[in-house]
Amino acid sequence: MANFITVSSVLKKIIIAITGISLFLFLIVHLLGNITIFTGSPPGRDFNAYAHFLESFGILFTIAELGLLGFFGLHIITALYTNFINYKSRESRYAVSNFAGGKSKKTYASTSMVITGVVVMAFLIWHVLQFRFGPYYETIYASVNGGEPVRDLYRLITEEFSNLWVVLGYTVSLSLLSLHLGHGFWSSFQSLGIYGKTFTRVTYSMSYLLGLIISLGFLVIPLYIFWIN
Amino acid sequence: MSDVINLNLQVWRQENENSDGDFHYYSMKDVPVDISFLEMLDILNENLTKSGVEPISFDSDCREGICGTCGFVINGVAHGPMARTTVCQLHMRHFKDGDTLVIEPFRATPFKIVRDLVVDRGSFDKIIQAGGYVSINTGNGPDANSILIGKEDAEEAFDSAACIGCGACVASCPNASAALFTSAKISHLLQLPQGQVEERARVKSMVDKMDDEGFGACSNHGECEAVCPKGISIKNIANMRRSLIKSIVK
């Protein structure tokens, strides 16, 4: 690939779209994995077993983590750089800016992608520090890891989500994520040149709903843990 | 509904490209509702001239919505509140008595303000010069029938070719992107056999030129399609992207 800076604006958006849709798929896998929080006995057994299962891939797991980091990095850097170019392309701002309505897909979500994106990025750093690199508790289940100790992530999430401020922080961040996904989902297809009269209408009308469903799906966990405690 | 309305205008006035502009306030009394927006400005300009004030500069030519010369932003929407309408075809009956209208030029770094509401859209010409044409002689009228083109392709190509190059897409885009204009030109030629020969070189060259001129990147806000007087679809932008991917992959 040519020098990153000189890659055309269209290609930059294609990079943002490919990484974006991949991260979207990651979120769905992450969300499905989270279901294990609600199953198993004693509470947390399935969740800790699932986490242990992922970690048991060893080097492959590390490669997957680094790959994910790379996708996030590429998505964020390309988007921030594009945003900088976009800002420069209108040096004198309008005194009044409005929505044309009709066929326009401009929304508060679409015009604040960089803001919601930066907040979600800050949230992700916090989230990873909180759990991936958080306190290491251990527990033992007879049926998991042959009775050897495994990481007790369930205990960590119950501790963290008992804190009202943490739950509020998650609520705000995940609400903004829903807006980010709302514009991002349909928009990534358009950025890849995938347009069809029906296809675009369907993906666009699904987009904000999908964003909301995914965010609510994630939000259920802190709210549920906070509630039962 | 009365036949005349009163308006408060807030118009951007700027001496030239390098000077600082600001808003000037004018109140208009008894504006007939059947005149166009530009005719309303003509009346204002006559009054300004009579009172020894420099009239407001704005572009216009055909005044029937087909040339793409006129255009400015009214209350934050390019070409004003009516869909698929240029300001010359926008009539005062769409405004209410007592309305305050903020009138600004099309703002984008590549569109330098010449004076007041007049902007230099020469960067559009440069994008066309970068490849928005067919290099070979395609012959005379009868030759057009020597290559048969399906009805659907012809219609699609015509829909793209309907772009009048007014610049409202750039003006309305939160990123000041020229993607709709550039893609309409690319897409128009892409859908006809005469244009397909140079497809790859054209798309690359025109996209690069669009970036060089200082336009932003398209973030799929779709505001351009909503303000476009000709209703050019963002489908063209998707076509341009597919074409660019093709030019890289193959």
Report the alpha-carbon distance of residue A183 to residue A13 in Å, rounded: 14
Which residue among B115, B149, B168 closes a domain?
B115
For residue A88, pLDDT over 90 is answered with yes
DSSP for chain B, written as a single string: --SEEEEEEEEEE-SSTTSPPEEEEEEEEEEETTSBHHHHHHHHHHHHHHTTPPPPP---SSSSSSS-----EETTEET-SSTT--GGG-BGGGS-TT-EEEEEPPPBTTBEEEETTEEE-HHHHHHHHTT-S-SS---SGGGGGTS---HHHHHHHHHHHT-----HHHHH-TT-B-HHHHHHHHHHHHTSHHHHTTHHHHHHHHHHHHHHTT-B------HHHHH-TT---THHHHHHHHHHHHHHH-
Which pLDDT score, from 0 to 100, does residue A2 have? 43
Interface test with B, best of A3, A6, A103, A181 (most B CBs within 10 A): A103
What does the pLDDT average to over A90-100?
95
B226: pLDDT strictly greater than 80: yes
**CB contact A1 to B (< 8 Å):** no
CA B63 to chain A, closest CA, distance in angstroms equals 22
Residue in A88, A90, A110 nearest the CB of B219: A110
For residue B239, list chain A residues with Cβ-Cβ distance below 8 A: 193, 195
Average pLDDT, chain B: 96
Residues B15 and B88 reside in one and the same domain = yes
The answer to whether the Cβ–Cβ distance between A100 and B219 falls below 8 Å is no
| Structural domain spans, chain A | 10-87+107-228
> Is there a single domain that holds both residue B22 and residue B67?
yes
pLDDT at B2: 62
Q: Residue B62: which domain range?
A: 4-115
pLDDT of residue A4: 61
Instruction: Please tell me the predicted confidence (pLDDT) of residue B1.
Output: 53
Q: Same domain, yes or no, for B196 and B220? A: yes
> For chain B, what percent of residues have pLDDT higher than 90?
93
| Same-domain pairing of B126 and B245 | yes
Structure confidence by residue, pLDDT tens digits, A124-142 = 999 999 999 999 999 999 9
pLDDT digits (tens, 9 = 90+) for B7-27: 999 999 999 999 999 999 999
pLDDT at A1 over 50: no
Q: Peptide bond preceding B142: is omega within 30 degrees of 0, i.e. cis?
A: no
Say whether A86 and B107 touch across the interface (CB within 8 A). Answer: no
Among B100, B115, B130, identify where a domain stops.
B115
Q: Are residues B100 and B141 in the same domain?
A: no
What does the pLDDT read at residue A7? 83
pLDDT, tens only, A150-203 = 999 999 999 999 999 999 999 999 999 999 999 999 999 999 999 999 999 999
pLDDT at B191: 94
As a whole-number percent, the residues of chain B with pLDDT over 70 amount to 99
Q: What CATH number is given to the structural domain containing B180?
A: 1.10.1060.10
Q: Are residues B48 and B164 both part of a single domain?
A: no
Does the structure's ipTM exceed the value 0.85?
Answer: yes
Q: How confident is the model at residue A3 (pLDDT cuts 50, 70, 90)?
A: low
